[in-house]
Structures are given as structure tokens and as C-alpha cells.
Chains A and B, each alone.
Chain A
Amino acid sequence: MSVTEMFSYIQGFLSADQDVREDIRKVVQVLEQTAREILTVLQSVHQPTGFKDIPSKCLKARELFSTVQTQIGELKTKFPVEQYYRFHEHWRFVLQRLTFLAAFVVYLESESLVTREEVAKILGTEVDREKGFHLDIEDYLAGILIMASELSRLAVNSVTAGDYGRPLRISNFINELDSGFRLLNLKNDPLRKRYDGLKYDVKKIEEVVYDLSIRGLAKEPEAGGDK
């Protein structure tokens, strides 16, 4: 094979590669748009009025997740499944956001940590790498960490809205997450960087809980139940 032939072969490979990337980028853009829509829906729980109809907001978000499912289904068709990690960078960010949103919805509904299987179900992906388009574990963990900072915000805003019980529950939850993350041996990578931010979320929520408890506000729900 001559040098020219070799290079034209490689050129063909590269341009095919670029086409695939272009296709992926298009789908990912749409996916990002949907993710933003879901975020907008969920953001309103921070409003004082939003606290009352969290269930309906979750329902609305879940509806939008079905759009996500079809869009991810489309993304799956854009590249050979065994080359997931070759193009991983393209959807890494949006998948982390979507994990966060799914985790947030599940937390608002049941105040528990979403499992990977649940996320996979909500997003319409596979759990195992062998089975197809899946959610990378690091992306899952990154999504959970985004949720942690969102919850610290929620703790502050729920106090403003007069819900004094929620910060305590959030505090418990975040502490669990923190001790969970402490089990992991993270390398010096983006995930580690994000995990380093978790302690500020923990601190923030502890401050909120402290403020409530020195004012005797934290006990209010029980006191209310007492009457």
C-alpha cells in the first residue's frame, strides 16, 4: 500500500468519525434542551408556593423524562454500541445533569437515594455496559453530587417557606451520602473535585439545622402533632 493510499484510507476513517460526532452532537443538543425544561419545572420547588404541589411537579417532570427516553433511544442509533466510550465525552455532561434531575425527582417523591437501576429505568438506558447504552458509574456519582448541592439550597428555601422539618431530613440524607462517598477511593479526577464540594453543602445544611434548633423551630412539626 502506498503512502497516499494509506493516508486516503485514514482520511476516510476520520471523516466518517466526524460525521458520527456531528450526528451525536445534534441529538445531545436536543437532549440538553429537554434537561433544561425538566430543570425549570423542578426549580419551582424553591418558590414558597411550589412547596405545596411537589407531587404534581414531580409528575410533570416524569412526563418529560419520557421525552428523554425517546431522545436517548435516538442517540443509541447514532453509533455502534461497543464504542460507547469513544464518544463518551459528548453526552457525559448531559447524562450527569439528567441523573441529577432523576435523583432529585426521586428524592422529592420518596426522600431516598435513587439507585442506578432506577436512574437507568427513568432515562431508558441499560444498567450494565455489556447490554448497551448505559450510565457510567462516575457519571451517576457526579449526578448525585449535583443533587446534594441542590438539596442544600432546598434546605435554605424550605425554611424561608416555613417548612422547618425538611432541613432536618435533608441533613440526615446528606450525611448519609457524605459517609457513603467517604468509602470511595477517588482518584484525582473531576469526580473527586466535585466531591470536594460536598463538604460545603454539608456545612450549609448543618448551619440551617443549627439556626433552627437554637430557636426551637426544628421541633415544630412534632409540637404541632402534639396538639
Chain B
Amino acid sequence: MSKREGNGSGRKRKTDSVQKTDDSLSQTSQVIAAFRVFQQELDTKHDKYERLVKLSRDITIESKRTIFLLHRVTSVPNVEEVLNEADTKLDSVRQKIGQVAEELRGEDLHQFHKAFTSGVQEYVEAVSFHHFIRHRTLISLEEINARLVFVKEEKMETKVTGEGSFPGACVLTFQVTPTDYLLGVADLTGELMRMCISSVGNGDMDTPFELSSFLRDIHDGFSYIGNMGPYEVSKKLHTLRQSLGKVEDACYMLRVRGSEIPKHMLADVLSSRTALLDHDEGVA
């Protein structure tokens, strides 16, 4: 009985399942169609992200090179020349940031922030280093942002042809976030420390003191912010302390022993403690 019933219902089910597949097919196509849209949307987003990562990496590399170039100012007679060369390099970096701004047009800056934050930080480091060497002050966030305004010319042309004499060119701006600025400045202190040590090596006796007071200002600033900032900031604060310590030690050393030690040996003395100890023994 039950077997027959099962058979009967089995036959019934066959026709039913055909119906069902038809039904589910139309439904499937609906769900699948929805997912095709999602696929496209996600792919577009991921592609954009990848492009931004690539740009960011280029920005990082170029900025790093600029920083290396700038480190030469301590040993080169014509500082202005190096600074100008660095400026042209930074211009090309800015071009790249212009491309980032182009990618981000109409997008939420923070949605893709992770993709380019490291590049921007490196740029802040380079540009603030450049600014410090020229002006001996800290570049402000507005000054950085003011240079990141891009005028898209091609867009203007199409607009001109399209609407006759449309005056406004398409202006793109890129805003460095305060956090990126802060992290970039924290990196800057490491460069300043290196600059301090190498300038001693060249017999420059004023720069280290200038640097130490500047670094102290920055350190005070960071201590003022303290735990307010994001996690990365407090991490960098530790490195900043170390850099400051090294610069302060260098200044101390210069003051105490500057007159005793021949200038060409000073750099060795300052660059490491062991060198200092060896030297001490040698003198004694």
C-alpha cells in the first residue's frame, strides 16, 4: 500500500519537478542576474583599488628617492641646486597624486584610503623635509594641500567644445588627512636625525642645534596629542623619542667635546656608542 502510494507520488513528483525546474530556472536567472550586477560592481571597485595601490607604490618610491637626494645637501656646496632638483622630482610625485585624485573623483576618499595612505605619508615626509631644508620650519597641512590642486586641461577642452565658452576648468583637489599628515611628520623626524648626524660629519656645527630644537618642538607637539590620535601615532611616538634622544646626545657631545676631537672624527663618535668607547680608550 505504502509502496504503491510512494510510486504514485513518485510519478507525480516527476511532473512536479519539471515544473519546479522551470520555476526555479526563472528564479535562478533572477538571482543570477542580480549577482551579475554585483560581480560587475565588485570588480570595478577592486580594479580601482588595485590601480590606487599601484599609484601609491610609485608615489612611495619617488618620494623615497627625493629624500635620498635631499640627504645630499649636507655634503654638497650648492644647496639650492639640490633643492631645485628635488622640487622637480616632487612635481612628478604630485602628478601621480593628481592621478589618484582623478581616480577618486566622485568617490568617497575614505573608502579607498587604505590603498594610498602609505604613499601619501611618504609624500608628506618628502615634502616636509624639503620645506624644512629650505625654510627651517614645519610645513603646514594647508601648505601641503594647497599644492595638491590639479587643473584637468583635457576636461576643460571637451567642455569648451561642448558648451562653447565654458570658463571653469575642472579643478581636482586632493586633501591630505590630518592623520596622514601627522604620520608623515613622525617619519620626517627620522630623516632629520640622519641629517643631523651626517651634517656633523661635514663639520657643520650649527645645524645639529637647530635640528634638536626643531625636533623637540615636534616631540612636544606629539606629546600634546598623546593618545588622542590613532594607534599608529602612539607607535611612532616611541621611534620619535629615540630619534630625539640621538640628536640630543649628538648636541651634548658637540658641546662637551667638540673642541677636543678633530672634526673628521666627530661623525664616528656620534654615530655609535661603541665607537665612542673605543675612542675613549684610545685617548686615555
Cβ contacts under 8 Å, A186 to chain B? 42
Cβ contacts under 8 Å, B168 to chain A? none
Closest chain-B Cβ to A174's Cβ sits at a distance in Å of 11
CA distance A185 to B218 in the complex (A): 46
Q: Is A183 within 8 A of B110, CB to CB?
A: no
- A185-B43, A222-B16 are contacts. A10–B35 as well, Cβ < 8 Å? no
Cβ contacts under 8 Å, B36 to chain A? 183
The segment from A50-58, A69-77, A80-88, A93-101 found at the interface with B is A80-88
B105 within 8 A of A: no
A4 within 8 A of B: yes
Cβ contacts under 8 Å, A8 to chain B? 224
B81 within 8 A of A: no
Q: Is B10 within 8 A of A3, CB to CB?
A: no
- Interface members, chain B 172-199 (any A CB < 8 Å): 178-179, 181-182
Partner of B221, one of A3, A138, A222: A3
- A176-B27, A179-B28, A183-B36 are contacts. A7–B222 as well, Cβ < 8 Å? yes
* CB nearest neighbor in B for A136: B111
Main secondary structure of the interface of B (DSSP, over half): helix
CA distance A114 to B16 in the complex (A): 26
- Interface members, chain B 21-79 (any A CB < 8 Å): 24, 27-28, 30-32, 34-36, 38-39, 41-43, 45-46
Q: Is B5 within 8 A of A223, CB to CB?
A: yes
Q: Is A180 within 8 A of B32, CB to CB?
A: yes
Q: How many residues of B contact A (CB 8 A)?
A: 50
- Interface members, chain A 105-155 (any B CB < 8 Å): 112-113, 115, 129-130, 137-138, 141
- A3-B221, A9-B141, A10-B141 are contacts. A222–B12 as well, Cβ < 8 Å? yes
Cβ contacts under 8 Å, A85 to chain B? 108-111, 113
B257 within 8 A of A: no
* CB nearest neighbor in A for B33: A180
B138 within 8 A of A: yes
- A85-B108, A180-B34, A187-B46 are contacts. A11–B228 as well, Cβ < 8 Å? yes
A14 within 8 A of B: yes
Q: How many residues of A contact B (CB 8 A)?
A: 44
Main secondary structure of the interface of A (DSSP, over half): helix
CA distance A4 to B216 in the complex (A): 11
Summed over the interface, the residue pairs from A and B with CB atoms below 8 Å come to a total of 122
Cβ contacts under 8 Å, A183 to chain B? 32, 35-36, 38-39
Q: Is A226 within 8 A of B12, CB to CB?
A: yes
Cβ contacts under 8 Å, B249 to chain A? none
CA distance A6 to B5 in the complex (A): 85
Given A11-B228, A181-B35, 10 additional A-B pairs, CB 8 A: A1-B138, A3-B214, A10-B141, A10-B221, A14-B228, A84-B108, A180-B35, A183-B32, A183-B35, A223-B9
Residues of chain B touching chain A, judged by Cβ–Cβ distance below 8 Å, are 5-6, 8-10, 12-13, 16, 20, 24, 27-28, 30-32, 34-36, 38-39, 41-43, 45-46, 106, 108-111, 113, 137-138, 140-142, 178-179, 181-182, 214, 217-218, 220-222, 224-225, 228-229
24 contacts between A and B (CB under 8 A): A1-B138, A2-B217, A3-B137, A3-B138, A4-B217, A4-B220, A6-B138, A7-B225, A10-B221, A11-B225, A84-B111, A85-B108, A179-B28, A180-B32, A180-B34, A183-B35, A183-B36, A183-B38, A184-B42, A219-B10, A222-B9, A222-B12, A222-B16, A226-B5
**Nearest 10 CB-CB pairs, A to B?**
A7-B221, A180-B35, A85-B110, A85-B111, A3-B217, A86-B110, A223-B9, A1-B140, A85-B108, A14-B228
